[in-house]
């Protein structure tokens, strides 16, 4: 008896999924989310917002956008944690500029991670959890939860609210479009500066 062609077709489809939309858009989203979760710096949020808006415009698939963002963020968080675990403490305690301040930041970090580990994991860059030796079982669980919350909140928010903002911009003309871009750029710049200050303080 010959093979069941329908079963073969189903297996091929499962092992070779087809994304609805441009592969470039999904790849850019994956790279941005991954980078943002490795070092807590990167274009992950703006790219996820853009992908959510494109999904609302039926140019991308929402479930695939959320899956790509969640997977890339999860993997990025794990890599950042491993980097901190393997090399972070050695780098931070090395002799050099601000050595005393770096040691004090490590001491304060130990206190925070000792008292509120979940809070610290969710609100600090992934490598910081590695520096402070957060256990594998604890980190993997909360990194997973954090990545899911991040992808769902931003992705769904852009999907639900973004199209109305885009339509408003289209109707109001280039002047408002430029203003919105300036405000978004300023917001992203302030967020990056805030994260850098927070990282240096720790």
List, run by run, the mean pLDDT of 10-residue segments along the chain (202 residues): 41 48 89 90 87 91 95 95 87 80 82 86 88 91 94 90 58 47 61 68 63
Rounded Cα distance, 174 and 182, in Å? 12
Rounded Cα distance, 161 and 183, in Å? 17
Identify the pLDDT of residue 34: 95
Residue 57 is given by DSSP the state T
Rounded Cα distance, 117 and 135, in Å? 10
Rounded Cα distance, 19 and 202, in Å? 40
Model's pTM, two decimal places?
A: 0.69
Identify the pLDDT of residue 76: 95
Sign of CA dihedral 44, 47, 50, 56: negative
DSSP class per residue in 65-130: HHHHHHHHHHHHHHHHHHHIIIIIHHHHTSSSTTHHHHHHHHHHHHHHHHH-HHHHHHHS-HHHHH
Q: Which residues make Cβ contacts (< 8 Å) with residue 31, sequence separation at least 6? A: 72
């Amino acid at each position: 008896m010959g093979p069941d062609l329908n079963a073969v077709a189903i297996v091929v489809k499962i092992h070779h999924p087809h994304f609805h939309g441009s592969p470039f858009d999904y790849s850019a989203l994956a790279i941005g989310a991954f980078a943002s979760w490795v070092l807590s710096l990167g274009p992950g949020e703006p790219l996820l917002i853009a992908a959510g808006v494109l999904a609302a415009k039926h140019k991308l698939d929402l479930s695939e956008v959320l899956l790509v963002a969640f997977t890339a963020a999860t993997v990025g968080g794990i890599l950042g944690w491993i980097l901190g675990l393997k090399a972070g403490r050695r780098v931070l305690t090395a002799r050099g500029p601000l050595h005393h301040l770096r040691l004090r930041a490590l001491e304060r970090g130990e206190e925070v991670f000792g008292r509120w580990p979940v809070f610290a994991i969710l609100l600090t860059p992934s490598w910081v959890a590695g520096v402070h030796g957060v256990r594998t079982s604890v980190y993997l669980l909360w990194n997973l939860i954090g990545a899911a919350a991040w992808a769902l909140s931003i992705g769904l928010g852009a999907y639900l609210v973004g199209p109305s903002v885009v339509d408003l911009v289209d109707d109001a003309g280039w002047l408002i479009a430029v203003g919105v871009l300036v405000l978004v750029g300023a917001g992203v710049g302030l967020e990056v500066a805030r994260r850098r200050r927070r990282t240096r303080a720790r």
